[in-house]
C-alpha cells in the first residue's frame, strides 16, 4: 500500500473496480445493478408483494415500482394477484427471468474467481473472514 493511501481508500478502490467489472459482466443481459438486486431477492425469496420487495431492497416503494416496471417490460418478471389477498399484487420471476438470474450469477462467479484469482487460498480465506467480520459488526 502507498504511504499516502489509507486502508479506506484502498478498500474503495477495490470496490470501484468490482462495481465496474460487475457492470461489464451484466451488460450482455442489459441488467442494471438495481435490477440485479431485485432479481436476486426474488430468486432468494420467491414471489413478493412490491412493499416486501422494497423492504428487502432497502429502497422506497416508488423506486421499487420503477425497477419492477423495467424488468416487466423486458419479460423478466411478471405481476399477478396475491392468492391470499386479491387486492394485493405479487411480483415473480418469469422463466426468462430465472434463466437470466442463473446466467448472470454464473458470469459474476467466474468474474469474481478471475478478480480474486491472484490471491492465495489462505489470503482469500483471510479476506473473506475479515470482510464478513466487518459487515456484521
1 in any annotated domain: no
| Domain count within the chain | 1
Q: Which domain holds residue 56?
A: 9-135
DSSP the chain: --TT--HHHHHHHHHHHHHHHHHHHHGGGT--HHHHHHHHHHHHH-SEEHHHHHHHHTS-HHHHHHHHHHHHHTTSEEEEEETTEEEEEEEEE-HHHHHHHHHHHHHHHHHHHHHHTTS-HHHHHHHHHHHHHHHT-
2 in any annotated domain: no
Q: So what's the pLDDT on residue 90?
A: 96
What is the pTM for the complete model shown?
0.83
* Mean per-residue pLDDT pooled into runs of 10, the chain (137 residues): 74 93 93 94 96 95 94 97 90 97 96 94 94 89
Q: What is the CATH number of the domain that holds 116?
A: 1.10.10.10
Amino acid at each position: 500500500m502507498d504511504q499516502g493511501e489509507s486502508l479506506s481508500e484502498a478498500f474503495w478502490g477495490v470496490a470501484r473496480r468490482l462495481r465496474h467489472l460487475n457492470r461489464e459482466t451484466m451488460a450482455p443481459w442489459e441488467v442494471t445493478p438495481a435490477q440485479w438486486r431485485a432479481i436476486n431477492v426474488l430468486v432468494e425469496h420467491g414471489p413478493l408483494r412490491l412493499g416486501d420487495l422494497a423492504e428487502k431492497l432497502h429502497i422506497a416503494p416508488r423506486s421499487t415500482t420503477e425497477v419492477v416496471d423495467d424488468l416487466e417490460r423486458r419479460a423478466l418478471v411478471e405481476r399477478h394477484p396475491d392468492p391470499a389477498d386479491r387486492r394485493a399484487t405479487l411480483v415473480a420471476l418469469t422463466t426468462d427471468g430465472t434463466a437470466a438470474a442463473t446466467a448472470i450469477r454464473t458470469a459474476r462467479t467466474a468474474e469474481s474467481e478471475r478478480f480474486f484469482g491472484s490471491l492465495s487460498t489462505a489470503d482469500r480465506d483471510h479476506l473473506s473472514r475479515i470482510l464478513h467480520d466487518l459487515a456484521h459488526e
